[in-house]
Amino acid sequence: MATPKRLPYSTAGAGGGARRGSGTVPPVVVLVFLFVVAPSIFLVARSGGRGHVHVASDPKGANGNQETDWQQQLVTNNLKTVLSKEVIDAIAASQQETGTLNLDFFRDHASPSWKTDDLVDHKMNTSLDVDDKAKAENSTAEHDLSLTYKPPKDGSDGHQGDTAVKIARRKLREKRREKRATDLVLKDDEAHVKLENAAIERSKAVDSAVLGKYSIWRKENENENSDSTVRLMRDQIIMARVYSVLAKSKNKHDLYQELQSRIKESQRAVGEATVDADLHHSAPEKLRVMGQVLSKAREEVYDCKVVTQRLRAMLQSADEHVRSLKKQSTFLSQLAAKTIPNSIHCLSMRLTIDYYLLPLEKRKFPRSENLENPALYHYALFSDNVLAASVVVNSTVMNAKEPEKHVFHLVTDKLNFGAMNMWFLLNPPGKATIHVENVDEFKWLNSSYCPVLRQLESAAMKEYYFKADRPTTLSAGSSNLKYRNPKYLSMLNHLRFYLPQIYPKLDKILFLDDDIVVQKDLTGLWDVDLNGKVNGAVETCGESFHRFDKYLNFSNPHIARNFDPNACGWAYGMNIFDLKQWKNKDITGIYHKWQNMNEDRVLWKLGTLPPGLMTFYKLTHPLDKSWHVLGLGYNPSIDRSDIDNAAVAHYNGNMKPWLELAMTKYRPYWTRYIKYDHPYIRGCNLSD
């Protein structure tokens, strides 16, 4: 077997050995380590930092020395046999930047993986902004250092001087790090202080009144379970009813009788109590006994499926009961709105009797020559309520600047004709003019001319209103009670579409409902330019309510073709009408056209606002909202300032001010115009 040749210690030889078979590589590595690397390390260690390592590829050297001793040359040559050319070049480049490599250099410049201070220093340098004062101090210190340090002339102590400079610089870096850490702490403290101050300022902005109310609320409700016993007993009664049904179905008569007995006892103990304090003193004992009976029933007759079905049936029954109560409430409120209080009925009857006892010559009103004078301010009022009509007239006159120029045209039915005349004969409206008429004496207003009268006389309408078996109970039919109000049967409600026929010699007239109260002078309405429109009214539409689609049936093609569903609605109750434009545009004819098309109530339900919206479509001029505030008959949240600033306050809705169900906070606006010390009012027990 041939012995392998010894390879010379040269770069080429090393490279050639590396290209030979893999079986020769381990002996070469071992030999290189034993005969090259180990002696090199030994020689460098003996030099103790005095002998510098010069890389042959570096042409300059660390201190500019041109001579190298044989030990250094030997180390350099030996390193070339071990290290690649790229490593040697990297060491040479590092020498150019940091100086000659030696053991002291590696002691003082440990690897970044061995030290963390420089890494922290680097992060702090990138994350913190050092103030100008600190920068100035650092630059001054380095400048002083460069002035005080002088390099040696002969180069013998150059390394020691270089080490002293580096130590001084390291100390400066440490000082800078300390300074930056201190600044960071200070800035952190300042941030905390700013946050605390901001929180204090925000706390000052909190409404203490709200906190006070909340505290009071919490105090009043400290015991959130003040009705826990009441609720538990009611739950026991419900479960006892369920178990009693199950016991009866399974022929457990003793258990059934016991459950029924306990149910009655618990019901008597609970009574009408809503909180535990209202319970009878025997309630705790009843609660305990019922619990024992329910435990017994659970053991004997409990069936999850049956219990679930029974509870569901009870829930559905309760839900139907609630709906029926709501319908009953709606029915009663509509009924209350239809009725006239006994006191007002008494007033009307007494006035009627006294009127017909008057001689004919005393039944006439003064200043009848003003009734057809177009230069005066004319009002149209159609009502069968004596007290309501008196409030409208009195409030208008009392707030008028020139009452002598105001003329009131009042139309009522034959039942209240005498009462209306007698009241205003006894209580004339100051210098204003008033005239009362009977709608039944308008001979031109007949079924052949008026579609509404013809429809009211039809069999279908009579069946709708007067059929004996028509449901009016809480279970059926109550949804349309609103439209079955008797006022829709009265022609007084439809006279507003015949103003030019009633007052042919007038140019303008102000229409007023009898559920309004006037709070300011209204003569400014006659000066409003309607821009060729017929009707001046306050609009009532909001973002999504009181628009045409609320009142009209847009599924009907006649409605869909002629009207915009998003068109804004407006209010009846205070409307200024230009009777000249009314005649020119044949408003009454338009009303008749739509009324004839609605004989089967397919275009709108009953009432006068829907046909009014259709008749005056694109012929209505919007008035300023301060003229007319609405909702006092149904809306409890109207702003007080809106009512006080309005010229007319309107009690539209079911809660009329003369009814007991009126909202008390709005009633004073109306009652201030009633003289409760009047003999007729006092005699009929009318009070505020």
User: Taking the domains of the chain in order of start, what are their residue ranges?
Assistant: 11-111, 228-336, 342-683
Residue 429, SS3? coil
Using CA atoms, how far apart are residues 19 and 13, in angstroms rounded to an integer?
A: 10
Q: What are phi and psi of 412, to 5 degrees?
A: -135, -175
User: Which amino acid, one-letter code, is at 275?
Assistant: V
Contact (Cβ atoms closer than 8 angstroms) between residue 321 and residue 300: no
Tokens of 569: 């609605």
Q: Is the dihedral of CA 522, 523, 528, 530 positive or negative?
A: positive
Tens digit of each residue's pLDDT (9 = 90 or more) over 628-649? 999 999 999 999 999 999 999 9
| Residues in contact with 465: Cβ distance below 8 Å, sequence separation at least 6, in sequence order | 484, 489
Contact (Cβ atoms closer than 8 angstroms) between residue 284 and residue 228: no
Contact (Cβ atoms closer than 8 angstroms) between residue 311 and residue 242: yes
Look at residue 576 in the predicted model and tell me its pLDDT: 97
More confident site: 467 or 420: 420
Look at residue 311 in the predicted model and tell me its pLDDT: 84
Q: What are phi and psi of 635, to 5 degrees?
A: -105, 110
Tens digit of each residue's pLDDT (9 = 90 or more) over 169-221? 888 888 888 887 777 777 767 776 777 777 667 655 544 443 333 333 333 34
Tens digit of each residue's pLDDT (9 = 90 or more) over 57-67? 444 444 444 44
Flag whether pLDDT at 544 surpasses 50.
yes
Q: What burial class does residue 386 get, using C-beta atoms within 10 Å of its C-beta: 0-12 exposed, 13-18 middle, 19+ buried?
A: buried
Q: What mean pLDDT comes out for the span 94-112?
A: 50
Where residue 6 falls among pLDDT bands split at 50, 70, 90? Answer: very low
- Radius of gyration (C-alpha) of the chain in whole angstroms: 53
More confident site: 344 or 114: 344
Look at residue 34 in the predicted model and tell me its pLDDT: 61
Dihedral of the CA atoms 303, 306, 309, 310 (nearest 10)? Answer: -90
Look at residue 195 in the predicted model and tell me its pLDDT: 73
Tokens of 41: 């390390």
Tens digit of each residue's pLDDT (9 = 90 or more) over 604-618? 887 888 999 999 999
Using CA atoms, how far apart are residues 54 and 73, in angstroms rounded to an integer?
A: 8
Tokens of 477: 């039919």
Using CA atoms, how far apart are residues 168 and 179, in angstroms rounded to an integer?
A: 16
Tens digit of each residue's pLDDT (9 = 90 or more) over 252-261? 889 999 999 9
Contact (Cβ atoms closer than 8 angstroms) between residue 437 and residue 410: yes
Look at residue 589 in the predicted model and tell me its pLDDT: 95
Tens digit of each residue's pLDDT (9 = 90 or more) over 140-160? 544 444 444 444 444 445 555
Flag whether pLDDT at 520 surpasses 70.
yes
Using CA atoms, how far apart are residues 347 and 365, in angstroms rounded to an integer?
A: 21
Using CA atoms, how far apart are residues 422 and 415, in angstroms rounded to an integer?
A: 13
Q: What mean pLDDT comes out for the span 406-426?
A: 95
Flag whether pLDDT at 223 surpasses 70.
no
Look at residue 431 in the predicted model and tell me its pLDDT: 93
More confident site: 241 or 85: 241
In terms of Cα–Cα distance, which of 594, 535, 592, 534 is closest to 559?
A: 594
Over the chain, what is the mean pLDDT? 77
- Residue whose entry in the numeric block shows the structure tokens 């009071």: 216
More confident site: 375 or 318: 375
Contact (Cβ atoms closer than 8 angstroms) between residue 644 and residue 669: no
Look at residue 250 in the predicted model and tell me its pLDDT: 87
Q: What is the CATH number assigned to the segment(s) 342-683?
A: 3.90.550.10
- Single pTM value for the model: 0.57
Contact (Cβ atoms closer than 8 angstroms) between residue 644 and residue 658: no
Flag whether pLDDT at 222 surpasses 60.
no
Where residue 301 falls among pLDDT bands split at 50, 70, 90? Answer: confident
